[in-house]
Structure 1
């Protein structure tokens, strides 16, 4: 199976799990991502002011989102793949500010959403080797080791407990051999190349946030 067919097959499996958001919800989602990418929490009131949307509309949209985490003051500290309040094996560094991604795959699709290049530091859970990548909104610029692959899983649902149901199974591996050792105890997973992971993420972004991302890139609705 060639790369494009694999990408299309995975996307078909993911489609039922990707929430369908209206344009305003997509705007707010992208705004949250960009805010968290500054390395700090996102305050809903300031988000309302920045986006020129009524506070009650912002609150209504936030309540509709799954995959959102807030602190005791109701500031947003984590959102669908990106967190400023939790340590994970996947460091996500933008403009010198260090955050964490929920899983390895998140690091491949987040740069397109925030419109910035990111440096990623992770570790292979089997070999212990350091994994390093540089990912821009347009693609993967560099990575090491050169045999690095990504584990993947088609979940039944991502509506609740996405971290336990999905993220815990998505890692970088320093080689296919390392992945195969890990896969023995995770038979529902499979490996994909980093390029495939990026392309799947790009398609996921388009399905979930395309009304906003396409306009940001100069496209039309």
Structure 2
């Protein structure tokens, strides 16, 4: 690999942007396709397929063998609320290699004993997301689970503005209707609010905290696989 190409790959990785390195097996020729340019690439459909899976592999196109080296930013899951659902969700998400962070200003809930080995930030979301927690981006999922507007709403607003690929919020349809009113008053647009998955999680008839956690994680994975086919704005 040329030094220039390696530097470009590293720059995309540092910026948390996806990219695919296309290598011609026969002659060793390489070109880097950034996510924003994939839709216009001659191999657009093929690249989108591999990006959606997040896996590298050998392909054939126009009679040539190409190796696609797929570089996708690690997916982060930021959970708002150190609640029972979060206790079940954190280990499930970790098993899928999602980097989990839990934010909750209520120190009685956000304790290492309740969340062993999970990064905890015992601050209000607007403070946490502006400081100790890395900036949100489109490779982040945010799940607001406290049922407390003072905690959930600032996190939802931040997630929508950052373009997170998944934004979910716990609560009934009636609860969400009130949430929509609050977020509208706070300046969120109808299109932004429409991106919130509420009630959170796939409809699997979940009852227990673990089942609700499973439904949330399933919805996150489904959204991730679907959205990776799309190119960046």
TM over 0.5: no
TM-score when scaled to structure 2?
Answer: 0.27
Higher normalized contact order (CA 8 Å, seq sep 6+, divided by chain length): 1
